[in-house]
Structure 1
Amino acid sequence: MEARLSKARQRLGLVLRNTGPIFTVADVADVLGIERVDASKILSRWATQGWVVRLRRGIYAAVPLESSGGDVVFENPWVIVPSLFETAYIGGWSAAEHWDLTEQIFSSICVLTAGNIRRKHHTIGGTRFVLSSMRGDRHFGTRFEWVGNQRVAVSDPEKTIIDMFHKPSIGGGIQHATECFRNLVRASQGETDKLVDYAQRFASGAVNKRLGLIGEAMGLSEFARSLFAGKSAGNVQLDPKNPGDRLITRWGTWVPTHWERWAHE
């Protein structure tokens, strides 16, 4: 019995050395040189023994030997994003934390994906992931960060701002998104050309309105003029989650009470 367990552990070790802590049925089949149906059976036995846990259909993670409850906790949960979520990148508040655009600490990870979203919230390995849709043609402005042996895409600082002004909810609300925008401008010593380029490529009238309005309030006149040309017809809410009661007609944007206080800070 011990010999069989030892051999099984050796096979699991071989899989981990070739794939890392996250692997699929296909990975196991390729590494062990077996059929997928047999790989599925092996993974089922390993799961029963508490050696691996299924993250979602066909995707597994190894349980550390020191784990007493069969739970898997990732040192950096970003590592599982490429395996779990289709055509995705880390963005929003999580990217803002990564690039030091904010001092706030968020308890969940924001993932932007071009894939179908059946459930917005997922809790995996003790970490909560919040998914938000993003069209494939807007998947630009990302960098790859190495997490162990896994490359993980994350929006760069400028694209993080564009995404948050597209969907203020993934930025922790428009006030926090504005704080991140201000911190980026300070860090770049007022350089905004890349933001303008990204806004033009993103091609969203709502982004131009929100970002242009806030930029103008911050005294970034040239930046605001560049975005003014790309604003769309109609009106938008500065923050859809916090509907405004005053319309800034020049920008076609409804703003909440006291918005100027934090926009000018």
Structure 2
Amino acid sequence: MMSNKNLGSMGARLLTALAEENRQVFSIADAQRYLSAYADKPYSYAAANELLRRLGRAGWVVRLSAGRYALVPLTSGNTLTPQLNRYVIAREVLGNAPYYISHESAMEVHNLLTHPVGQVLVTTPRRLASREILGIPYRFIYAPPVGIWGNELRWVTPYEQVMVSDLERTLLDGLMRTDLCAGIGQVATALWMRHDELDGEKLADYAERAHHRAAAQRLGYLLELYGLGTPDLAARLLGLRGTAYALLDPLLPDEGPYLSRWRLRINIEPETLQSSIRT
């Protein structure tokens, strides 16, 4: 339960100002600025930090990362959980590091899923261990700085934007890491759901840029299975094939017929993939 103990007049004024300006996430420097205005004199960084620590112990704010806090609104009652979007939390944890919401989490942002996602997946060149924040698992997928491309700002609340892989990059990431997207079936369904919005040239450009032959092979196969794409797109993807055979779905057993055209071992029934788009 939130406690008024140790709140104090400055703490109360700070919380009121943050709530009035809808500042759900803020830094110690932000708090210092508000407190200096109310005190009508400079308020030290150390004093602001100490006040936030007291507010955290009392349950009024929650620390997200070094120097970053989330406001717990009055509507949270006894839960002490900020009514804060989980993707905004991911953004704040990473601070100034490049990142984008990726894989199955990006599919959720793009409304490509029919089931809730239990964790937040973020791609970033900053090496961070997986962790749980406010009851939600966060997994940080490492990529070198040159791998951070194909993303865009998306609104996830009426007031907050986060960086998310665009539609084409989301699908390509899923084809590269089916384990982070609940398998090839989920990626295939997403491809079909938004096929009329896909930019074929961008898909081919992305496949070339990613230098991931198996992903290009899976993409080419799915496009042909669903009767999508153009001859030019198919030709570009065929040019990206490797010499080795890849599994259509790495999550499934290494079995099934080989398809030489796309250098794939078809270890999931095509009818299973086709039926998923008819439901």
Q: TM-score range by the shorter chain?
A: 0.7 to 0.9
In 1, Cα distance between the equivalents of 2:17 and 2:188? 48
Shift of 1:255: 3.0
3-state DSSP of counterpart to 2:262 = coil
In 2, Cα distance between the equivalents of 1:44 and 1:83? 18
- Matched residues, number: 260
3-state DSSP of counterpart to 1:43 = helix
Shift of 1:240: 2.2
Structure 2 match to 1:60: 69
Q: Judging changes above 3 Å, is the alpha-carbon distance between structure 1 residues 36 and 54 closer, same or farther for their aligned structure 2 residues?
A: same
Q: Judging changes above 3 Å, is the alpha-carbon distance between structure 1 residues 2 and 57 closer, same or farther for their aligned structure 2 residues?
A: closer
Provide Cα deviations, 1:42-100, integer angstroms capped at 9, x if missing partner. 11111122211222343221111233325114253222221113422222223223323
Structure 1 match to 2:39: none
3-state DSSP of counterpart to 2:215 = helix
3-state DSSP of counterpart to 1:129 = strand
In 2, Cα distance between the equivalents of 1:53 and 1:3? 16
1:165 to 151, 155, 175: 175
1:262 and 2:272 equivalent?
yes
Q: Judging changes above 3 Å, is the alpha-carbon distance between structure 1 residues 52 and 70 closer, same or farther for their aligned structure 2 residues?
A: farther
Structure 1 match to 2:220: 212
In 1, Cα distance between the equivalents of 2:203 and 2:86? 29
2:58 to 37, 49, 54: 49
Shift of 1:116: 0.6
What is the RMSD of the two structures over their aligned residues, measured on CA atoms?
A: 2.9
3-state DSSP of counterpart to 1:66 = helix
1:155 and 2:158 equivalent?
no
In 1, Cα distance between the equivalents of 2:210 and 2:241? 12
Unpaired runs of at least 5, structure 2: 37-42
Say whether the 8 Å CA contact 1:73–1:126 is kept in structure 2.
no
Structure 2 match to 1:181: 191
Q: TM-score, normalized by length of structure 2?
A: 0.80
3-state DSSP of counterpart to 2:91 = helix
1:6 and 2:6 equivalent?
no
Q: Judging changes above 3 Å, is the alpha-carbon distance between structure 1 residues 36 and 148 closer, same or farther for their aligned structure 2 residues?
A: farther
In 1, Cα distance between the equivalents of 2:6 and 2:52? 19
3-state DSSP of counterpart to 2:194 = helix
Say whether the 8 Å CA contact 1:238–1:254 is kept in structure 2.
yes
Q: Mean Cα displacement is larger for which, 209-218 or 172-181?
A: 209-218
Structure 2 counterpart of 1:182, one-letter code: W
Q: Judging changes above 3 Å, is the alpha-carbon distance between structure 1 residues 17 and 89 closer, same or farther for their aligned structure 2 residues?
A: farther
In 2, Cα distance between the equivalents of 1:79 and 1:261? 39
In 2, Cα distance between the equivalents of 1:226 and 1:2? 66
Q: Judging changes above 3 Å, is the alpha-carbon distance between structure 1 residues 183 and 43 closer, same or farther for their aligned structure 2 residues?
A: same
Structure 2 counterpart of 1:116, one-letter code: R
Q: Mean Cα displacement is larger for which, 195-204 or 166-175?
A: 195-204
Q: TM-score, normalized by length of structure 1?
A: 0.83
In 2, Cα distance between the equivalents of 1:2 and 1:95? 41
Identity %: 26
Query: 1:1-265, aligned counterparts within 5 Å?
Result: 5-15=8-18, 20-33=23-36, 34-69=43-78, 71-85=80-94, 86-119=97-130, 122-146=131-155, 147-185=157-195, 187-188=196-197, 192-220=200-228, 222=231, 223-246=233-256, 247-258=258-269, 260-265=270-275
3-state DSSP of counterpart to 2:59 = coil
Structure 1 counterpart of 2:168, one-letter code: E
In 1, Cα distance between the equivalents of 2:271 and 2:144? 33
Structure 2 counterpart of 1:197, one-letter code: D
Say whether the 8 Å CA contact 1:114–1:134 is kept in structure 2.
yes
